[in-house]
Structure 1
Amino acid sequence: MEFNKAVLDCMQHLRRRLRDEQQVDIRLSQPDAIQAMLTACLCSGDEMTRDLGKQLATYSDMPAPDRTPSPTAGRSGPSVRIYRGQRVLN
């Protein structure tokens, strides 16, 4: 992905909003910074933050995260599987 002025401005503005709203500290140098910002936008209650997330998704050619719950979203706590008759945490 090419980082131009529009992308960097959007990322910086979104980073400030997320830090103020959710106390999320995302550094622009992180390899997964864009994905972390898009994920944090899902949790935001502010329409402007969600719009910035959509804008960043279009700049980065990544699919905008939607608010549809995943099948594992309803579970709380770590997942458990059975291995040789013993419960094992994942």
Structure 2
Amino acid sequence: GVFCPTDLCALGFLDAMRSKHGVDVPQEVSVIGYDDIPQSSWAFANLTTFRQPVDEIAATTLELLESRFADPEMEERQVVLPVRMIERGTTL
């Protein structure tokens, strides 16, 4: 299978595999994108993708910036937020 770093990249790959090379997706190859843009759910694509928690990313970023401004000596902190797989028609 192929994991693309963005849905736009995955949509381009998907189109090329189907229209230019006659590849049956997902029977011959699975394709997964990342972002869950609106176009990924359109009928022609029906792309399996990962949805990132955009609102939570924004809120966490703001919180970290406010903390850093309040305490410039604050230790660096890594935050890992979960993504959600949206299973559609490009994977089995």
Query: Which structure carries more strand by proportion?
Result: 2
Greater Cα radius of gyration, structure 1 or 2:
2
Normalised by the size of structure 2, how large is the TM-score?
0.30
Which structure carries more helix by proportion?
1
* TM norm structure 1: 0.30
